[in-house]
């Protein structure tokens, strides 16, 4: 009697597992064969920025090159923009890509047709070429504007010691 109960329990368990595995295969097959609804639902999430509502900020320029600059002398550039939307815009966040760049920006609401600015100051402490970005977030859209500064930091003027005097380090 005990063996019969164990056998029935084993058969019931096996049937349950086979039904469960079959149900999973059918569900996977349904997902693979229903291409139109699934892809249509996935496509907007991976949409390109063209599909998004553009920001109402129109910058005079979005990339600025300082060219060659001297090491140890910070440089600053002001990016100006105009509110080309029909609503008041507020810059909610402006963030530089690294600590060597410090942004400041218009913190008051910008009405339609008015202008504002984002100023980027780059600390030219390290020699070599650089490209840094400043991400501007406004309240009018989820799409950010990315401003870019670039240039090349050259060594500063070398200190030349007198011919017969001590050298400076």
Mean pLDDT by 10 residues, the chain (169 residues): 62 58 52 46 43 73 96 95 92 94 95 95 94 93 88 73 50
The CATH number of the domain holding residue 83 is: 2.60.40.10
Q: What are the two backbone dihedrals, phi and then psi, of residue 8, each rounded to the nearest 5 degrees?
A: -60, -40
Q: Provide the whole-model pTM.
A: 0.61
Looking at residue 131, its pLDDT comes to: 96
Looking at residue 31, its pLDDT comes to: 46
Tokens of 159: 């200190």
Looking at residue 42, its pLDDT comes to: 43
Looking at residue 93, its pLDDT comes to: 93
**Is 164 inside a domain boundary?**
no
Number of domains within the chain: 2
Whether residue 118 is found in the same domain as residue 61: yes
Whether residue 80 is found in the same domain as residue 142: yes
- Give the C-alpha distances (Å, rounded to integers) separating 94 from 7, 91, 102, 104: 70, 7, 10, 8
Given 12, 29, 46, the domain boundary residue is 46
Strand partners, 65: 150
Whether residue 67 is found in the same domain as residue 128: yes
Looking at residue 43, its pLDDT comes to: 42
- Residue 127, domain extent: 52-154
* Residues contacting residue 127 through CB under 8 Å, at least 6 positions apart: 71, 153, 154, 155
Whether residue 58 is found in the same domain as residue 141: yes
């Amino acid at each position: 009697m005990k063996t019969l109960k164990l056998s029935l329990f084993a058969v019931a368990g096996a049937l349950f597992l086979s039904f469960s595995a079959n149900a999973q295969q059918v569900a996977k097959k349904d997902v693979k064969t229903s291409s139109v609804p699934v892809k249509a639902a996935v496509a907007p999430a991976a949409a390109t920025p063209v599909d998004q509502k553009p920001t109402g900020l129109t910058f005079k320029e979005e990339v600025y090159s300082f060219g060659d600059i001297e090491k140890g002398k910070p440089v600053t550039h002001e990016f100006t923009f105009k509110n080309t939307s029909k609503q008041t815009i507020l810059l909610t966040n402006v963030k530089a890509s690294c600590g060597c760049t410090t942004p400041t920006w218009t913190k008051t609401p910008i009405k339609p047709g008015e202008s504002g600015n984002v100023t980027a100051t780059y600390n030219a402490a390290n020699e070599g070429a650089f490209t840094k970005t400043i991400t501007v977030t406004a309240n009018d859209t989820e799409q950010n504007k990315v401003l870019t500064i670039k240039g090349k930091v050259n060594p500063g003027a070398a200190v030349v010691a007198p011919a017969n005097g001590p050298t400076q380090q």
